[in-house]
Amino acid sequence: MRTKRRILGQHFLNSPRLAERVARIAKIENQVVVEIGSGKGILTRQLAKRAKKVIAVEIDSWLANYLQELGLPRVHVLNRDFLKIDLCDWGNTVVVGNIPYNITSVILRKLAENKEYVERVVFTVQKEYAVRMMAPVGSSKYGYVSIYTNHHFDVRKEFNIQARYFSPRPKVNSVVITLIPRKTGYDVAYEAKLFEFIAGVFRYRRKSLKNAIMNYGQWLPMDLDDDRFGQRPQHLSLDDYREIYRMISRAS
């Protein structure tokens, strides 16, 4: 595989058996599937056997042409950056992909912001990132990613994949996860400010919440009396952050 693939951070699944397992878990019968980073089509082939239609999104022109020449039935190859496509073009979709670690958070945000068009997501991600996504409150891996992911999705671990089943071989193992979008019902603009606040606080996760907020640059009234301000950021739930952000906003 060319050096460019390393630049893009992609490692492609090389096991048809595991690709078939991913496709089966995705439950895509009679569904439109958007596959992110189709590569040489190992997973695409399995998706095409089950889905109503597969939109194979591949940013690399050489690989997109390769996929096109395969002539897989019910597969439409799209030589585009997934982050720049409109999911609303295909209605309710299932999104599947082996996601590069360096853009996992950006892709997750795009799906969260467009979840009315997404029925289900099945991703293969690096094990470390999966642990962060599913980390419980108070654990060492709990942070912004945990809060954001679980606010927008129900997250379920499916199975592990060893590094040897990818080309080029990565240094770490991966995990297949399923994400089911949640209906949050909150104001979008308010949520954006809230999560910006939470992200800022977690930059100082080793400090108390009070000091983290002040280091982040958020004005904090001195007369606010709440035991949670003495705790570290990883010990607070999303509900805690909602209450604290509301308290600060009202006092400012």
C-beta of residue 38 within 8 angstroms of C-beta of residue 20: no
Place of tokens 């001195």: 222
| CA-closest candidate to residue 36, choices 57, 6, 5 | 57
| 211 known member of a binding site | no
**Distance of alpha carbon 209 from the chain centroid:** 26
Which has the closest alpha carbon to 199: 238, 160, 161?
238
Give the helix ranges, DSSP H, for 162-237: 188-201, 209-216
Per the CB < 8 A criterion, the answer to whether 97 and 36 are in contact is yes
Nearest to 244 by CA among 206, 207, 218: 218
Is 60 annotated in a binding site? The answer is no
Structure tokens at 37: 């980073």
Hey, what are 154's tokens?
Answer: 């129900």
| Residue 98 labeled ligand binder | yes
Q: Which of 192, 245, 189, 187 has its CA nearest to residue 218?
A: 245
152 is annotated as contributing to ligand binding: no
Binding site membership for S-adenosyl-L-methionine: which residues?
11, 13, 37, 58, 81, 98
